Each structure stands twice: as C-alpha cells, then as structure tokens.
A = this chain, B = another copy of it.
C-alpha cells in the first residue's frame, strides 16, 4: 500500500526478517483481539522482539495495523483475473476465491482482523470502507454492463462479507460446517445474477 512495505524485496537486508515477524505477530493479534485490545507490547512478545523495535520500525500501533492490513491479494490484479475467464462462471469464481482466501490462514487472518477492528474502531471502519469501495465500486463495477453496476457490486460484496462473517467468525450451523461445494451451489448463482443481471 505504501513504499514502507518494500522491505520484503530485500532492499533492507538484516531487518526484513524482524519486520516480517512483527507483521505476522500483529496480524495474528489483531485478528484474535481486534484493534483496541491489541498492544504493541503483546505484538512484540509474540514476535519475540523488544517493544522498542516495534516502535522503531513502525512508530505507532496504527502504523503497525496499516502495514499488517496488507492483504494477500490486491483488487488491482484480482479483478482483471476474475473477469478474464468466461462471464457465465464469474459468480462461481468469485465465491470460490473468497472460500480459498478463508481456507488459508495467511488470507483469513488479515481479513478477520479488519472485520473485527472495523466494528469498533473508526479508522479501521474507514479502511474497510475504502477497501470495499476500491475493490467493488472502483474495480469490479466498471467492467460490468449494467446501469446500476455500482449498487449491484456493493450488494454482491455485502453478501460475501456476511457469508464470511456468519460462516467463519460467528459460525452459525449448518453454514459453518457446509462444504465449499454446497456453499457455491447456493451463493454463486446469486452473485452471478447481481453482477451480470
């Protein structure tokens, strides 16, 4: 999201591992406890470093959060890939992508962290709003042909957010234990209808 995330490229040898460990610990902590209940001290302990190092790399808790938020997927490349396949399978590809992200802890944790924090922290709510707006209204809607494409993309997104929340976070049965194929069979036609009419 910012130049500060370039550490992964190895341009700052020796520090990339520590920085990466802190970010990994931060993602786990924000996902488990939400923004307010997570402390720099707790992140440092989980990462096995001194809290002063966390301050050194990031400055504030909010800066750690912004860096940790860096999703394992980028709407800028994800949406064109989704739209490159046959249009008649778009709904299914989108639902399967969501389920695949949730099946991988590296995908699930940053998204859970953002959902949790957005509920109680205005800065996180703004980030979630900006992420959804950028992904759905900014990227997806312009590729669709319908006059109300932006509203439709937002409604489709709201369904996917609710699905993730109720299936994975609140864990309402039998949705929590349903197979991916069962979920796709029900939800993919809905997303298809929202996005393609």
Contact = CB atoms under 8 A, between A and B. Distances in A.
Contacts of A8: none
Contacts of A193: 189-190
A180 to B, nearest CB: 13
A157 interface: yes
Contact of A173 (B33, B116, B133): B133
A36 B38 CA distance: 12
B132 A166 contact: yes
Interface string A158-174: 11111101110111111
State the copy count for this chain. 2
A173 B154 contact: yes
Nearest to A166: B158
Interface of A: 33-34, 36-37, 115-116, 118-120, 125, 128-129, 132-133, 136-137, 148, 150-152, 154-155, 157-163, 165-167, 169-175, 178, 182-183, 186-187, 189-190, 193-194
Nearest to A157: B166
29 contacts: A34-B36, A36-B36, A37-B120, A116-B119, A118-B119, A118-B169, A119-B119, A125-B169, A129-B172, A132-B170, A150-B174, A154-B172, A155-B163, A155-B183, A155-B187, A157-B172, A158-B165, A158-B167, A158-B175, A159-B159, A159-B163, A160-B162, A161-B162, A161-B166, A162-B162, A162-B163, A162-B165, A165-B165, A190-B190
